[in-house]
Amino acid sequence: MDESVKAFLAAEIPLIADSVATHVRPCIIGHSDRFSENEISVGSSKFCGRPDVPDAFEWPMTDDGPCWFLGQIDLAECTRFDPGVEIPNTGVVSFFYHDAGGPAGTQSRMLYFPHAKLHRIEVVPDWRWGSDFHSRHLFPRSLVLTQGHCLPGVDDLGLSPEEAAQYDDLEDFIAAFNDTFADGTHQFFGVPRYMWQSVPRRHQLIANFGECNDRIIYLIPEPDVASLRDSQLRVLYECT
């Protein structure tokens, strides 16, 4: 575990630091800045804009129109960090979102392109929200990755009643911990922050995208993480 994480726990909750330390999860944090498409190389991590896909790619469509491209992560870049789970060390994972007029659509997709040669394609626009929707909200941004660490909510810390009774502000502590070690617009892997909905049992967070005044959260069953299959993908939408 990172020494700064240990020091934070020891300083803030010394009586239960060791117990809480067992629940600290590594994650990867993403920060995005506006860039033009030609400043982001093909296959690199990015947020919105145009996707990089293999030749056989077909744009994900739904009953009421195309999905939105939210972003992609370069798994080779992720090898510089500890994601806390076993994932492939090459390829690109792309995230497409189906908006059902508010709630997350069940036809959202997470696509893993293992080793294919990629090229950048034009977006299939969702005209339901106006001709300038993509240029106003889904314009291209870089995605700079850094190492992060996160904690789940109090109920998932596994503390005994005696341990929990040592501090009456554990929720505030967890918020402060995550603000210190998982402070970013986007998060990959680890455990979700600020969840207002229940995470399905035995599901792993893959991506939590922000910056659109919303949070769009991608989870898959734990057994599917190593292959990044999306056959049982769950997508949660939380409006801020």
Contact by Cβ (8 Å): 168, 195:
no
> In which band, very low, low, confident or very high, does the pLDDT at 179 lie, cut at 50, 70 and 90?
very high
Q: What is the pLDDT of residue 103?
A: 73
| pLDDT bucket at 83, cuts 50 / 70 / 90 | very high
User: Lowest-pLDDT range, 29-33, 111-115, 129-133?
Assistant: 129-133
Instruction: Tell me the pairing of strands 65-66 and 61-62.
Output: antiparallel
pLDDT at site 49: 96
Burial label for 139, CB within 10 Å (0-12, 13-18, 19+), is middle
Give tens-digit pLDDT for 25-64.
999 999 999 999 999 999 999 999 999 999 999 999 998 8
Asked if pLDDT for residue 204 goes beyond 60, the answer is: yes
Label residue 125 left, alpha or beta by phi (over 0 means left) and psi (-120 to 50 means alpha): beta
Element (H, E) at 111: strand 109-113
Burial zone of 56 (CB within 10 Å; 0-12 exposed, 13-18 middle, 19+ buried): exposed
pLDDT tops 80 at residue 185 = yes
- The contacts found for 211-216 with CB under 8 angstroms, 24 or more apart, are 211/32, 211/47, 211/141, 211/185, 211/186, 212/137, 213/239, 213/240, 214/238, 214/239, 214/240, 215/240, 216/70, 216/97, 216/104
Q: How far apart are CA 33 and CA 30, in angstroms?
A: 10
- DSSP lists the bridge partners of residue 224 as none
Two structure tokens written together for 129: 């929200």
What are the structure tokens assigned to 176, written together?
């402060």
Confidence at residue 240, expressed as pLDDT on a 0 to 100 scale = 63
State mean pLDDT over 74-98.
Answer: 96
3-class DSSP state for residue 142?
Answer: strand
Count, residues in the chain: 240
208: β partners = 187, 217
- Label residue 192 by pLDDT band (50, 70, 90): confident
CATH H-level, domain 3-239: superfamily: YwqG-like (2.30.320.10)
